[in-house]
Amino acid sequence: MNAPQILEKQVTGATIWLTGLPSAGKTTIAYELADTLRAEGRQVEVLDGDEIREYLSAGLGFSREDRHTNVQRIGYLAELLARNGVLALVPVIAPYADSRDAVRKRHQVGGTAYVEVHVATPVDVCSVRDVKGLYAKQAAGELKGLTGVDDPYEAPESPDLRIESQNQTVQESAAAVRALLTERGLAA
């Protein structure tokens, strides 16, 4: 006699990539959304760009090539988590369109859900927020290559969602991402 098969509900993972300028609100929105999704019983990981740089991409600089390598490493890790049922929230600048496109293609090839969110906060608002003091250092001549100021940021032309965080609360921004996930069958 065969043992009965236990059927488990398949949980769909996804990568939710939040891109935007430094101090745009990407990480704040990601952690707010993570709290909501975890309260609903979902497995969620936030792949914070600063933490990834410290632990997985230590030694990389900020040249175009190093930034591309960093984004590809994060994209690989996000896709690995997502294809195993985790919602991977990825708040990273990822300034170059070709790097983000390569990550999207990796997900498409693997059949893994990918959602791109552009946190489209204007540079003047970001410089006032200046969470890490980067804009002040750049203005004082202590920092060169600040994305969106003296290094390019190629804004997504067709993101799945565009958030103007200066016009809404963190909770409203997170709710907008959550609504998109629900619409796509990635959240209840």
Q: How many whole angstroms separate alpha carbon 64 and alpha carbon 122? A: 22
CA dist list (Å): 147 to 19, 20, 21, 99, 163: 12, 9, 7, 15, 19
In terms of Cβ atoms closer than 10 Å to its own Cβ (0-12, 13-18, 19+), residue 142 is: exposed
d(Cα 174, Cα 180) in Å, to the nearest integer? 10
The answer, as to whether pTM is greater than 0.85, is: yes
Residue 1 has pLDDT above 60, yes or no: no
Strand intervals (E) in 35-130:
44-46, 87-91, 113-119
- pLDDT digit string (tens) for 131-163? 888 999 898 989 888 898 888 999 999 999 999
Q: How far apart are CA 73 and CA 80, in angstroms?
A: 11
Dump pLDDT digits (tens) for 78-97: 999 999 999 999 999 999 99
* First-to-last C-alpha distance (Å) of the chain: 38
Instruction: Report how far residue 122's alpha carbon sits from residue 100's, in angstroms, rounded to the nearest whole number.
Output: 20
